[in-house]
């Protein structure tokens, strides 16, 4: 029997299905361009630095191909490393670059990709060594990009963690202080310290607050929010052949910025009977963070003053509508600031008021 005849339309349909199956079988969409037409551009900002006993590499994910057009099929990166032991018998001899990692864009095991940047750590480094790295991007066809710039780093044992980290509260600031590394350990001199900060619910950032290692064992962290809790850790840094090697983190210390000085006492308080009660007026406090005022009253024959306002008085004026026009009263004020916990001033000077004499 002759084979069943297929129409041209049917053949095109099945041909299309086969092509789609071919390009989607591995779970990734196949690019419409041949391999030579969409080669990723080279990474140009590769950096290497140390932290927590490891070497870290970071670079920006390229978005263009070598021709400057939009890149749509970047599949991943390969990391290459060259090692040189500084105390080798042939110090000028260099080994070849060897691959040490492959990072898939969609499943970056062992790496982190955030905000268009790749972060990868090399935990296999050894003391007294020099390491040079470069990376290659590659597309769907495994066509590699040109080599990135090279990043070189020297590596040795990191310093120990500082001890005795503590904080001291100031207005909108915290002072962080710490001691040296534990006594009795023979270690190379420490170049300085890096300080890291986080708030509740956050994790410590990857980069320290200070742009350069701190020489002093204290730091004033300003511009903070009063009443908010902050957490800090300190890491010692040593200089090895020009590479700043950072050690492990200290114990975490926490602190809450608070204003330490209360507002000044209100001035210029005067009181007078008028229709509807006793009117009080005073000068507004000069401090910009004063949230309001509390009003205290003592009637004739009473021994103590009582606060008579239910909420803070925002303006330098108050009408005591509950005052008895037939009684004498003495008033005084306190200013209250806005940071938490609120701080109160001392009492203002007293202002006395007596009933208006009745006309005969």
pLDDT beyond 90 at 261: no
Classified as helix, coil or strand, 145 is coil
In this structure, how many other beta carbons lie within 10 angstroms of the beta carbon of residue 250?
23
**Separation between Cα atoms, residue 357 and residue 353, nearest integer Å:** 12
Percent of the chain with pLDDT over 90: 68
- Confidence bin at 36 (pLDDT 50/70/90): low
Sheet bearing 277-283, strands edge to edge = 267-274, 277-283, 317-320
User: Higher model confidence: residue 314 or residue 1?
Assistant: 314
User: Higher model confidence: residue 349 or residue 183?
Assistant: 349
> What's 191's DSSP letter?
-
- Confidence bin at 51 (pLDDT 50/70/90): confident
Chain CA centroid to CA 187, Å: 31
Structural domains of the chain in order of their starting residue, each with its CATH number: 42-155 (2.60.40.10), 166-255 (2.60.40.10), 267-353 (2.60.40.10)
In this structure, how many other beta carbons lie within 10 angstroms of the beta carbon of residue 53?
15
User: Higher model confidence: residue 354 or residue 17?
Assistant: 354
Contacts of 340 (CB under 8 A, 6+ apart): 226, 227
pLDDT beyond 90 at 6: no
Distance (Å) of CA 159 to CA 128, 218, 233: 14, 18, 15
pLDDT beyond 70 at 265: yes
Average pLDDT, the chain: 87
pLDDT beyond 80 at 83: yes
User: Per-residue pLDDT averaged across 36-55, rounded?
Assistant: 88
| Nearest residue to 329 via CA among 357, 350, 312, 315 | 350
Contacts of 166 (CB under 8 A, 6+ apart): 176, 177, 178, 253
**Separation between Cα atoms, residue 267 and residue 281, nearest integer Å:** 10
pTM greater than the 0.85 cutoff: no
In this structure, how many other beta carbons lie within 10 angstroms of the beta carbon of residue 207?
11
User: Per-residue pLDDT averaged across 106-121, rounded?
Assistant: 92
In this structure, how many other beta carbons lie within 10 angstroms of the beta carbon of residue 79?
24
The total number of residues written for the chain in this structure: 360
**Separation between Cα atoms, residue 325 and residue 351, nearest integer Å:** 16
**Helix H segments across the chain?**
8-24
User: Per-residue pLDDT averaged across 226-241, rounded?
Assistant: 94
Given its phi and psi angles, is residue 326 left (phi above 0), alpha (psi -120 to 50 degrees) or beta? alpha
- Confidence bin at 109 (pLDDT 50/70/90): confident
> What angle (nearest 5°) sits at the alpha carbon of residue 182, between those of residues 178 and 187?
115
- Confidence bin at 354 (pLDDT 50/70/90): very high
In this structure, how many other beta carbons lie within 10 angstroms of the beta carbon of residue 233?
22
> What's 37's DSSP letter?
G
Question: What confidence tens digit (pLDDT) does each residue in 152-177 have?
Answer: 999 999 998 999 999 999 888 999 99
**Separation between Cα atoms, residue 345 and residue 332, nearest integer Å:** 12
| pLDDT at 182 (0 to 100) | 63
Contact in structure between 347 and 326 (CB atoms under 8 Å): no
| pLDDT at 18 (0 to 100) | 37
pLDDT beyond 60 at 8: no
**Separation between Cα atoms, residue 92 and residue 77, nearest integer Å:** 29
Contacts of 201 (CB under 8 A, 6+ apart): none
User: Higher model confidence: residue 174 or residue 14?
Assistant: 174
């Amino acid at each position: 029997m002759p084979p069943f005849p297929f129409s041209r339309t049917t053949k095109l349909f099945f041909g299309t299905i086969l092509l789609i199956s071919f390009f989607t079988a591995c779970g990734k969409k196949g690019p419409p361009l041949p391999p030579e037409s969409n080669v990723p551009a080279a990474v140009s900002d590769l950096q290497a630095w140390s932290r927590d006993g490891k070497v870290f590499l970071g670079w920006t994910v390229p978005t263009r191909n070598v021709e400057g057009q939009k890149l749509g099929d970047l599949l991943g990166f390969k990391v290459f490393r060259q090692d040189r032991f500084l105390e080798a018998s042939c110090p000028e001899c260099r080994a070849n670059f060897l691959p040490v990692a492959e990072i898939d864009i969609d499943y970056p095991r062992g790496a982190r990709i955030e905000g268009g940047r790749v972060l990868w750590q090399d935990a296999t480094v050894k003391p007294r060594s020099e390491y040079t790295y470069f990376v290659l991007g590659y597309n769907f066809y495994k066509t590699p990009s040109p080599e990135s710039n090279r990043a070189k780093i020297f590596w040795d044992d990191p310093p120990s963690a500082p001890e005795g980290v503590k904080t001291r509260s100031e207005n909108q600031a915290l002072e962080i202080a710490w001691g040296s590394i534990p006594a009795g350990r023979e270690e190379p001199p420490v170049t300085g310290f890096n300080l890291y900060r986080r708030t509740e619910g956050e994790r410590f950032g990857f980069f320290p607050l200070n742009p350069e290692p701190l020489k002093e064992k204290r730091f004033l962290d300003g511009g903070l929010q009063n009443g908010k809790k902050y957490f800090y850790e300190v890491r010692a840094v040593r200089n090895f052949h020009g590479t700043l090697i950072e050690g492990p983190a200290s114990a975490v210390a926490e602190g809450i910025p608070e204003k330490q000085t209360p507002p000044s006492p209100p001035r210029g308080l005067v009181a007078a009977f008028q229709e509807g009660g006793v009117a009080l007026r005073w000068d507004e406090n000069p401090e910009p963070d004063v949230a309001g005022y509390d009003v205290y009253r003592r009637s004739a024959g009473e021994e103590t003053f009582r606060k008579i306002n239910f909420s803070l008085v925002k303006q330098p004026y108050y009408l005591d509508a509950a005052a008895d026009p037939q009684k004498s009263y003495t008033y005084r004020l306190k200013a209250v600031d806005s940071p938490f916990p609120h701080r109160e001033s001392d009492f203002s000077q007293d202002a006395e008021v007596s009933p208006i004499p009745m006309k005969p």
